[in-house]
Homo-oligomer: A and B are copies of this chain.
Amino acid sequence: MKIALAQLNYHIGNFESNTAKIIEHIKKARNSGADLIVFAELCVCGYPSRDFLEFDEFIDLCESSAQKIAEECHGIACIIGLPTPNHRTEGKDLNNSAYFIEEGKVIAVANKALLPNYDIFDEYRYFEPSNEFSCIEFKGHRIALTICEDLWNTFENPLYVTRPMDILIQQKPDVMINIAASPFAYNHDEERIEILSDNARRYQLPLLYVNHVGAQTELIFDGGSLVFDNTGALIDELPYFEESVAYYTLDDKSKLSFDHPTTMKAEKLSDIEQIHKAIILGIKDYFHKSGFKQAILGLSGGIDSAVVCALAAEALGPKNVMAVLLPSRFSSDHSIKDAEDLVNNLGCLSETVAIKNITEAFENTLSPQFKGLPFNIAEENIQSRSRAVVLMAMCNKFGYILLNTSNKSEAAVGYGTLYGDMCGGISVIGDVYKTQVFELARHINRDKEIIPENSIIKPPSAELRPDQKDTDSLPEYDILDKILKFYVEDRRSSGEIIKMGYDENTVRRVIRLVNLAEHKRYQTPPILRVSPKAFGMGRRMPIVGKYLS
C-alpha cells in the first residue's frame, strides 16, 4: 500500500480554496500511484475555526465540501478531517472527525476522543469526545486512525482518563495514522517526536503523522510531519514551515519504506532559527490570508522596530514595507541615523514625520488642565500615542496594516503605551523576549549587516524623556527575562523564584508589573505565538482580581 502524506497550508473558512487544494493533491497522488492520501485534522475548514463551528451553515459547508472531495476519490482513498454533527442523543453538537473515503464514499468515520482544552485549545467548547473506536480495513491492512491529541495522553502523567489506542490495539491493526493540528512553539518539535515515538514503540506499530503548515492569525503551524517504524525510531520528517507531500510504502509485514530523499535533518534548527522561520511564515500568512500586501511600522532606531522591519521586509518584500521615522524632541541623532541606515540596508520605503508640532498642540491644548503640574508619564504617553495616530492615519489613507513592535519582555511588564506603541494589526515579536530579540538580530545579520550594529549594542531606551534608559525602571534584561519565564510560562510563585536565588525586591517588582499590565494586554493585537506560553488566547488572566504578588 502506497501512502501519501499531504502537509498543506489551509485557510480557515475558505472552503473553496481548501477543497480545491485537497482535490488537486488527490489527483496528483493518484497519478503518482498512491493508494491512500492523508490530509491533516480539520483540513476542510482550517484550524482553529473557533466559533465559526457554532454556525449551522458552516457545518453544512464542511459536509458539502467533503462530498465534493469524495467525488474525486476514485482509484485512490483519502483521509480528511472535518467537524461533523454528533448523532448521539446527548452531548455536544459536534464531533471532531476524520473521514476515510474510498470510491466516492465515506466508508469509515473516526471521531476524536481526547479534546485539548488548555493553553490555546478550546476543543471541549465545540466537540463531544468519542468513546467508540474501530480500525479501518483497507487493501489488506488494518489502520488505527486517530486524531492529534488522541496519541498525546502521556504514559507517565495521563491528562485524560482514556487512551483510544488501548482499545484500537485489541483489534490488531498493522499501522497507525494520526492526523493533527499541532501549532509551533520553539521546543514543540522535540516533544512531538518523543510522544509519538513513545506510541509507536509501545504499540509496536509504524506511525504516520500529518500536521498542518501555515499561520492562522497568531497560531503558526510548522508542519514537520513524522514517520516512525514499529520500534519507535523516527524514519522520516517532512520539512518545517513549508508545504510538502511525501510517499511511503507499507509492505505486508508492516514495514514502511520510501524512495525519496529524506528531509530529516542531521542537525536540528536552533531555537532562534525556528523562531525566525515561524515569524516569517506568520507575517506572510497574516497578510496573504487577510488580503493585504503592505505593512507600515514606526522605526525608532532601536533594536525592536529594526528587527520587525527586517522580518517584514523578508516576508513581504522590502517595497511592501513602509518604515516611518517619527522623531520627537527627545529622539537622539544616533537613533535617526540608525533608522536611516536600516532603511538603506533593507531597501524598504520610508517617510519621516516629526511629531514635535503635534505633541506641542496636545500640551498647549491641555495647558489649562495640566497647569503647574510637572512633565510625567502623561506627556511621555502623548508622544507614543501621537505616533500611533500618525501611523494609523497612514493606514487609513493608504491601506497598510500597522505592525506592532513590542517584545515579550515589554508586553510582560507593561513597558509600553496602550493606544500608543501597543497598537497594530499583529504583534510580530510579542512572544520573543528581549534577550531573544538580540539573538534574532544577530541571526538576521548572519551574512551581512542588515540591522545596524549600533541598534544592537546601544542601551535600550524608549526616548520619551531626556536620557531615558530601560534599565532606569527595569532590571537588566537577562535577569528580567528569566524571572518572566518562571512566572509567565512556568507559573511559579514569587516565593519559589526568590528561593532560586533571585533578588527578592526585583522579583516582587517584576511580578507586580506583570500583574498590573493585564488590563493593557487585554487590548493588544494578536501576538505571533512562538513559545509554549504566549500572551493572548493561551493565557487567560483576570483583569480585576487581587494578584498574589
Question: Using a CB–CB distance below 8 Å, which chain A residues touch chain B?
Answer: 11-15, 17, 46, 48-52, 54-58, 61, 88-92, 117-118, 122, 124-125, 158-161, 216-217, 285-286, 289-290, 351, 353-355, 357-358, 360-362, 364-366, 369-370, 373, 376-379, 381-382, 385-386, 388-390, 392-394, 396-397, 418-419, 423, 425, 491, 493, 495-496, 519, 522-526, 537, 539-548
Q: Is the CB of A91 within 8 A of B12?
A: no
16 contacts between A and B (CB under 8 A): A50-B541, A51-B541, A56-B493, A57-B493, A117-B122, A117-B125, A286-B544, A290-B544, A357-B361, A358-B361, A362-B389, A362-B393, A376-B396, A419-B423, A425-B519, A522-B525
Nearest residue (CB) in B for A12 is: B545
Max chain B CB contacts within 10 Å: which of A91, A289, A419? A419
Contacts of A50 in B (CB 8 A): 540-542
Given contacts A50-B541, A389-B385, A425-B519, contact A13 B546 (CB under 8 A): yes
Max chain B CB contacts within 10 Å: which of A51, A351, A354? A51
Contacts of A351 in B (CB 8 A): 369
Contacts of A161 in B (CB 8 A): 88, 90-91
Contacts of A388 in B (CB 8 A): 385, 419
Nearest residue (CB) in B for A397 is: B378
Nearest residue (CB) in B for A218 is: B543
Nearest residue (CB) in B for A89 is: B158
Contacts of A11 in B (CB 8 A): 545-546
Q: Is the CB of A491 within 8 A of B381?
A: no
Q: Is the CB of B392 within 8 A of A385?
A: yes
Max chain B CB contacts within 10 Å: which of A124, A361, A394, A491? A361
Q: Is the CB of A369 within 8 A of B394?
A: yes
**Min C-beta distance of A444 to chain B, whole Å:** 25
**Min C-beta distance of A94 to chain B, whole Å:** 12
Q: Is the CB of A540 within 8 A of B353?
A: no
Bound-state CA distance A217–B544 (Å) is 5
Q: Is the CB of A57 within 8 A of B546?
A: no
Specify which of B13, B366, B386, B394 is in contact with A545 (CB 8 Å cutoff).
Answer: B13
Q: Is the CB of B216 within 8 A of A542?
A: yes
Q: Is the CB of A546 within 8 A of B124?
A: no
**Min C-beta distance of A512 to chain B, whole Å:** 13
Q: Is the CB of B541 within 8 A of A52?
A: yes
Bound-state CA distance A56–B54 (Å) is 34
Contacts of A537 in B (CB 8 A): 540
Contacts of A54 in B (CB 8 A): 491
16 additional contacts (CB under 8 A) given A50-B540, A382-B393: A11-B545, A12-B544, A12-B546, A51-B539, A52-B541, A57-B548, A89-B158, A91-B159, A216-B542, A217-B542, A290-B543, A290-B544, A354-B365, A373-B397, A419-B419, A523-B524
Q: Is the CB of B390 within 8 A of A362?
A: yes
Contacts of A547 in B (CB 8 A): 13
